[in-house]
Structure 1
Amino acid sequence: MSLTLQTARFTLRQPVPEDAELIARYLNDFAVSGNLARVPYPYRVSDAKAWLRTRRPVMPLEDTNFSIDLPGFGLAGHVGFHLGPKGPIIGYWLGRPFWGQGIMTEAVRASLDWFFPATNAPVVYSGVFHFNAASLAIQRKLGFTEIGRSRLLCLARKAEVEHIDTQLTQGVWKAHKP
């Protein structure tokens, strides 16, 4: 399935093998990978290529991923879904040169606008490591609520780290939309 979403400033598109170098460039920054659970550090082009090989033309909707494609720059980050033990989980990252511009809020909003109607999932889970205030601010802005705390392995830090667990119900999403 080839899926593309358009926002006011950029395109969300399926990842392609040509993204490997930029994925590796941005994720090989500990300021980025150190905020993510499932990304090792250092992060190499071979890691990006291995991950990209897991992307198939036909994937379950709950395992859809989008590359954030900025005009004039190309890939700037990523937002995607995967199935967790309680249901779908949304995760995301943005290359450091693009921080502080509202890009991730726009990307997460667009992906949720697609995800809830496409899957009819009643809830989407997420969360942040306790020190990632910027990501938590994005989630709060979009209607996510804190549902607890846990410890989660951070591959880049090679340690379990305190994690703020969050969720967004479809009902809250619908009510929260501008």
Structure 2
Amino acid sequence: MGRHRPDPRRLRGAFPMKATLNTERLILRLPEVGDAERIAFYLNNLAVSGNLARVPHPYFLGDAKAWLRTRRDDLPPEETNFTIEVPGQGLAGAVGYHIGLGGQPVIGYWLGQPFWGRGYMTEAARAALDWYFAVTDADRILSGVFEFNIASLNVQKKLGFTEIGRSSMHCLARNAEVRHIDTELTRKAWIGQQR
């Protein structure tokens, strides 16, 4: 109730990067050049970047600007990213997709530490998954968390992700191999929980 439910007939075949998603408390929109300072501020915190595989620490303004230059209007859904904006407070984090090992789509996300514990990440990821399954024919989406990141694992459980294995993954911010819980969400499971 009150959350954005994309209409697949309207979105399929549309340019994926044109989407803006509105939830009860959040706006998910395309990254913009002006987001660089807030992205750098929140990601230059090991409590945040240390939970992510592909983000360095320290994280500089130049890192944010370089990432923003990779965002284009013609990217496929599997490479689309949304910033998470809290109305009246500005950018709080991001959620998006990339192609992982084996060519499988992976969802990843982060939230600035001042916004933790409010349910924002679950709300944002739910909208991003609604969008993704509406604009693609993908039968599943992969994700995962470092073993110590219980909060993120709880978000994934709420969304219907299930554990499919354990692995080791390099964490750039920690400059170390870290034990990882591998997860997936199938289209069938996603549709089933929407009923």
Q: TM-score range by the shorter chain?
A: over 0.9
Name 1:103's counterpart in structure 2.
120
**How many correspondences in the alignment?**
178
TM-score, structure 2 as length reference:
0.90
Query: Which deviations, in whole Å up to 9, do the C-alpha atoms of 1:136-167 show, x marking residues without a partner?
Result: 00001110000000000100000110000000
Q: Secondary structure at the match of 2:123?
A: helix
Name 1:151's counterpart in structure 2.
168
Instruction: Please show how residues 8-87 of structure 1 align to structure 2 within 5 Å.
Output: 8-86=24-102, 87=104
Amino acid at match of 1:135: S
Distance across 1 between alignment mates of 2:101 and 2:146? 19
| Corresponding position: 1:131 with 2:151 | no
Unmatched 5+ stretches in structure 2: 1-16
Q: Secondary structure at the match of 2:160?
A: coil
Name 1:176's counterpart in structure 2.
193
2:182 pairs, out of 138, 150, 165, with 165
Moved segments of 4+, more than 3 Å: none
Distance across 1 between alignment mates of 2:159 and 2:26? 19
Query: Which deviations, in whole Å up to 9, do the C-alpha atoms of 1:77-119 show, x marking residues without a partner?
Result: 0000011124110000000000000000000000000001201
| Corresponding position: 1:122 with 2:139 | yes
Distance across 2 between alignment mates of 1:112 and 1:120? 12
TM-score, structure 1 as length reference:
0.98
Unmatched 5+ stretches in structure 1: none
RMSD of equivalent CA atoms: 0.8
1:94 pairs, out of 107, 111, 116, with 111
Shift of 1:29: 0.5
Shift of 1:10: 1.2
Amino acid at match of 1:23: I
Distance across 2 between alignment mates of 1:119 and 1:85? 19
